[in-house]
Structure 1
Amino acid sequence: MGIKKLPAYRDYWSSCPDLHDPFISKFMPVNRFGWLLSHLHVNDNQFIPARNSPSYDKLCRVRPLLDTLKNTFEKNYRPTENMAIDESMIKFKGRSYLKQYMPKKLVKRGYKVWMLCASSGYCLKFDVYTGKAEKVEKNLGARVVLDFTQDLQSKNYKFYFDNYFHSYVLQHELKLRKIMACGTVNNTRKFLPELKEDNAMKRGDFDWRMSNENILYLKWKDNRTVYFLSNMHDPNDVDIAQRREKDGSFIDIPCPKLLKDYNSNMKFCG
């Protein structure tokens, strides 16, 4: 509760001196607080459609609050040049049909949220993932990117996102909308050209192709091979990456600048 975290809200009214909080507990009895907490609403039940209704919203009970937060977040901050789109997790261990499991995230269980974050870490836009619908949505990741960037076209912003969202089709659409974007991509996606085989490349090597629409497809070999799509990078813009050898020494290897840009900008979303 606030800046003082206890395991359960009833602990603030505990008779144990180590837990009891005189400031909070003086305002009302614990049972009164519990009653208010259980009856707290941010939407009117009479306007909530039935679960079997086509218009039913899984977040309907908190939708007014979410909409207010979204509008406030956007209204009170001017976006930075570089922004990242990613999945984030709100930790939750209780029971909820909205709870997701993401083993690669620091927070593995909780509510999954799509986020657009500025370079300061500020969340400009977000959307809570409500799980798979009966009719599975195709290209969900691309839809999230297009929704978040809809009102940020032709404004010289640069967006970064990973291979969950990315494809050549999405890059082509972003190019048409005059939106600059870069990110990793799965090399099994459609419409990607052939590049050098891994066994023909050594550590630090990279290969690339440029489409007629000036969309760059690049492959770089490090300890593993990574693939990128970008509509704003020059493949000849090369930097240096430092790597540790098995004996503890360090070596410098060539590294495309787009990879450093990607790594430095994708840390914005938690």
Structure 2
Amino acid sequence: TSPEEMEHFLAILLFIGVFNFPSLEDYWHHESRFALIADIMPRRRFQLLRRYIHFNNNQQCSESRDRFYKIRPLFEMLRECLLIPSTHKHSVDEVMVAYNGTRTDNLRQYIANKPDKWGFKLFYQASSSGIILDLLLYQGASTFFNVALSKEEQALPLGAKVVTTLCKTIKEPQMSVVFCDNFFTKFNVVQYLHTALGVKCIGTVRPNHTGGAPLMTDKDLIKRGHGVCDFRAAEGVLAMKWFDNKCVNLLSYAGIMPFSTVKRWSKESCAKITVPCPSLISAYNEHMGGTDLSDMLQHLYKTPAKSRRWHFPLFGYILDLCIANSWLLYKRDSGLLNGKPMSLKRFRLVVAHSLNNSPPPEKTGYIPRPSRPKPQTDVRYDNVGHWPLHCEKRGRCNLCPKEVSRWKCEKCNVFLCLNANQESLKLYHLMH
């Protein structure tokens, strides 16, 4: 193959993510042929490239501790491209790459509250606008095999290790704030991020991980009504509990002031009432959803990657991630220039057309030519309305390999030369 042909291969994958057919063969089948894809490459050639595409040397797979060895070079290449200047608000969260196969032992994970419950688990560091800045593949005990961890970091639980590892790539830690949920947040984690890395952390926390802060119980807080909060500070870390529809616990290195207001439904008055809200809650709700936004954009136009090879869905996921990240960067720059950005679907099609506009590969010598549509079987054999029709343009005869004709069947839309035999039209339909 050649680099140009691989660009055509990627263009087809991007097109398929927008124009979704039931199966890959339908794009080339004469009954449902989609010229935008079928004219780029023959079906057999596309399936051959899809079958043999690899990202690492399988012969050295047994010598590596990395369980994602087959796809690791592609992820490392992606991480080098994620060095994007961003805002100083970051979020850390987990996502799932859908995979329902059973060829990965326990590498496939299950999370009940995710849209894709079965698949590969990834940890993201994202900006509040949804741009992914760093990622980490989860593979059990060997997740941090290529990460240098100190003795203090090795003693931390999984969520704390993930946060510290992803926060090390932040360029301006002293000016940055990281938001995370209760899977990652603990009292000693918030302390370590501030003292060792200089990063401030704001996150929801489970009641038993607040560092022993004597906060009010949930029952006492609920009795006081909506918007009531209680807080304690120890060793520079603030623990806060706020009653919304239920009690929310947070840990932070920032204060709770100033208070804002939010609208909440009240059962007693049967109307929405104004409730005081600490600044930590407003900041958390505003900047925590970056990972979910990126995951939503990737699922809008998803590259179909169903395969017996477990690493192929990860390859399709990387394509979608690159498109979503690029579109968010383009949208941000368009806003700075006061321009109107194109939609994500249009952006993906523009990228695919750019890959397809490269010169055709010299190795295969293939020149795309659309095939003639064939009529249905019951139409071809009904013996009704198969009359010769004179056309302005000539076409190659379907019976004679070297003859051309201006006559074609009005119903079947195939050219037939009538010079040699006046019965060739009838003979064609009897034979075919």
TM-score tier, shorter chain, comes to 0.7 to 0.9
CA distance in 1, matches of 2:161, 2:115: 25
> Could you give the per-residue CA deviations for residues 47-90 of structure 1, whole angstroms, max 9, x where no partner exists?
x231xx5x42111111111100011112xx20211111101122
The farther-off stretch of 122-131 and 147-156 is 147-156
Find the residue that maps to 1:7 and give its secondary structure. Answer: coil
2:89 is aligned with 1:82? yes
Give the equivalent residue in structure 1 for 2:20: 5
Give the equivalent residue in structure 2 for 1:171: 190
2:246 is aligned with 1:224? yes
Q: 1:126 to 1:133 in 2, by over 3 A?
A: closer
> Could you give the per-residue CA deviations for residues 229-248 of structure 1, whole angstroms, max 9, x where no partner exists?
001x2134322121012365
CA distance in 1, matches of 2:178, 2:252: 10
2:179 is aligned with 1:157? no
Give the equivalent residue in structure 1 for 2:165: 147
CA distance in 2, matches of 1:200, 1:40: 61
Choose between structure 1 and 2 for higher RCO, CA contacts under 8 A separated by at least 6 residues: 2
Q: How does 1:56-71 map to 2 (within 5 A)?
A: 56-71=65-80
Give TM-score scaled by structure 2 length.
0.56
Find the residue that maps to 2:114 and give its secondary structure. Answer: coil
Give TM-score scaled by structure 1 length.
0.87
Give the equivalent residue in structure 2 for 1:15: 30
Post-superposition offset of 1:208: 0.7
> Could you give the per-residue CA deviations for residues 90-131 of structure 1, whole angstroms, max 9, x where no partner exists?
233444533332222233333221001112211010112224
> Could you give the per-residue CA deviations for residues 173-198 of structure 1, whole angstroms, max 9, x where no partner exists?
01202111100001112632111122
User: Which runs of no fewer than 5 residues in structure 2 stay unpaired?
Assistant: 1-12, 144-154, 293-432
1:91 to 87, 98, 112: 98
2:284 is aligned with 1:262? yes
State the identity as a percent: 28
2:59 is aligned with 1:42? no
Higher share in helix: 2
Q: How does 1:83-232 map to 2 (within 5 A)?
A: 83-97=90-104, 98-131=107-140, 139-152=157-170, 154-176=173-195, 177-189=197-209, 191-201=211-221, 202=224, 203-212=226-235, 214-231=236-253
CA distance in 2, matches of 1:113, 1:256: 31
Find the residue that maps to 2:209 and give its secondary structure. Answer: coil
Q: Is the 8 A contact 1:220 1:226 kept in 2?
A: yes
> Could you give the per-residue CA deviations for residues 180-233 of structure 1, whole angstroms, max 9, x where no partner exists?
110000111263211112222222211111113x110001112211100001x2
Instruction: Tell me which stretches of 4 or more aligned residues in structure 1 moved more than 6 Å.
Output: none
Q: Is the 8 A contact 2:227 2:276 kept in 1?
A: yes
Equivalenced residue count is 259
Q: Is the 8 A contact 1:192 1:217 kept in 2?
A: no
Q: Is the 8 A contact 1:87 1:113 kept in 2?
A: yes
CA distance in 1, matches of 2:257, 2:86: 29
Q: Is the 8 A contact 2:66 2:142 kept in 1?
A: no
